[in-house]
Amino acid sequence: MAEISTWMKSFVAVTEAGSFSTAADRLGSSQSTLSKHVAALEAHLRTRLFNRTTRSLTLTTDGARFYEKALGVLDAIEAAEASVGLSGEAEGVLRITAPLTLAESRLIPMLKRFLAANPKIEIDFTASDHALNLVADNLDLAIRVGQLTDSRLIARKVGMARRVAVASPAYLDKAGRPHHPSDLAGHNCLSYSLLGTGTRWTFVGGLTVDISGNLRADSPNLLRAATLAGIGIAVNARWLFESEIADGRLEIVLPTYEPVPMPIHIVLPPGRHVSARTRSLVEFLSREFALDSLLATGGP
């Protein structure tokens, strides 16, 4: 049974990676080892699981059918082992992605603690403010801020990103300090172009205002730089501006009107076996987010 389980894990890894070489990298194994495992599984099942050419690797009809069954079997094995403490330490490489500013300001300290508690896990981190394709980019897990648009993804809501409106004191001294969201109509407002709401800002309580300005950016860091330069007022995640607010380089605008927070989800690719190391990180981050006042669902 142990041998078959190993063969199945190799088969699932190759299927999800799309190649023996990529699967070997992900598992920290070798192509020859995975090839032997898959060949042994095919011999045991007396059927061919892959159609192999020099340029492609695709599942046969039997392979596709067996893959779906294998996922359930592997999940059951891991659950059974975990229930009696036989699963051991989670190990292997985790390929994850998250927005750069969230990673820099909040995630890295969390991941330091996770890695210390899981010394056999390695993390391959891709920081991107764009929503990468988890399947095409071969990622195990993504942290997404904002409304999800792909219903095929397996998602768990882990928090809310508190947001804030800010501007430089120099800009506010010149343009005046708004006292109500409706006053934003007379200000140069800087847009974050990756946010689906575009040029409409909504505040807690349902108050919505249409804004306009002469600069928009697809990078939070660029938006912060433009705000520091005194170009206008920006709205984004509070963590993006924390140090600048603390040292007085940026000032909170409309302190009694908080922009609506954005949901934070951990998402997993569809139809993929969820490894013990992935589950371990999901559970760990869920607990960590709940303790962070800028990320917790019920934060102040």
What's the predicted TM-score (pTM) here?
0.72
28/6: higher pLDDT: 6
The per-residue pLDDT for range 78-111, each reduced to its tens digit, is 766 655 554 556 778 899 999 999 999 999 999 9
**Domain extent listing, the chain:** 2-83, 92-152+268-291, 163-260
pLDDT for residue 83? 56
At residue 297 the predicted structure's pLDDT band, cuts being 50, 70 and 90, is confident
Same fold flag, 92-152+268-291 and 163-260: yes
Residue 25, C-beta contacts closer than 8 angstroms, at least 6 positions apart: 93
Q: Is the pLDDT of residue 300 over 50?
A: no
Distance CA 138, CA 154 (A): 15
Per CATH, domain 92-152+268-291 is 3.40.190.10: yes
pLDDT for residue 84? 55
CATH homologous superfamily for 163-260? Periplasmic binding protein-like II (3.40.190.10)
CA torsion angle 130 135 141 143 (round to 10) = 20
Q: Is the pLDDT of residue 61 over 60?
A: yes
CATH architecture of 2-83: Orthogonal Bundle (1.10)
The per-residue pLDDT for range 134-172, each reduced to its tens digit, is 877 888 899 999 888 777 778 999 999 999 999 999 999
25/31: higher pLDDT: 31
**Best-predicted range by mean pLDDT among 123-127, 138-142, 193-197?**
123-127
